[in-house]
Chain A
Amino acid sequence: MTLFRLAGDLSHVLAILLLLYKIWTTKSAAGISGKTQLMFCMVYVTRYLDLFTSFISVYNSTMKVLFISASVATVYLIYFKFKATYDGNHDTFRMEFVIVPALILALIWNYAFTFFEISWAFSIFLEAVAILPQLFMVTKTGEAENITSHYLFALGSYRALYILNWIDRYYFEGHWDPIAVTAGIVQTVLYGDFFYLYFTRVIKGRKLQVLP
């Protein structure tokens, strides 16, 4: 466990808790893409199928349970409890445009042609693009609440920190995970525009507005 990976996981947990906090305290899913959260649910379920079969550490299992349960809770809040506040008209990204390619790629590029490994690769590829509906929604609505910006910053930082972790592991352990690294770079690059807006606006106390 490198420091970067721990920092990345903690940033990920922070993002998940920030989102739950925002929806629960404002009793509103306004500005939040339900589609992104649905896909994150798929990411965790398809990635952690080994939750009951392979034990890595208490930390690993605890985080898996946390990610799955928190993402299910988030989807529940958006589509059921605070359904009336869900802004479906601005959450128009076609999920199949990312789910199908991720599945096809997972069938082609995986570490073994087994259900588990194909499911794992699908999860990695899907996670890389799962944020797209949320980023599209921010551009469509033209702005994002501050806490939503902080949520996105923490979420984008998590995989950026993992990239540092992968560099660290390659340098010290001499091996790397091509699928995870490739997808992780794509995932982090997709936040590029948001990171720019975040650092030029939100940090200076201004609302995150996508310049028209």
Chain B
Amino acid sequence: SDGHNAHDEL
């Protein structure tokens, strides 16, 4: 993932 934009955390 490109890090930031994939906000995978709540």
Contact = CB atoms under 8 A, between A and B. Distances in A.
A162 interface: yes
Interface in A115-139: 117, 120
B3 to A, nearest CB: 5
A111 interface: yes
Interface of B: 3-10
Contacts of A5: 9
Interface of A: 5, 9, 12, 50, 56, 60, 63-64, 67, 111-112, 117, 120, 162, 165, 175, 177, 180
13 contacts: A9-B10, A50-B7, A56-B8, A60-B8, A64-B10, A67-B10, A111-B5, A112-B5, A120-B7, A162-B9, A165-B9, A177-B9, A180-B9
Could you tell me the dominant secondary structure of chain B's interface residues? loop
Could you tell me the dominant secondary structure of chain A's interface residues? helix
A177 B4 contact: yes
A67 B9 CA distance: 13
Nearest to B7: A120
A60 B8 CA distance: 8
A182 to B, nearest CB: 13
A80 to B, nearest CB: 27
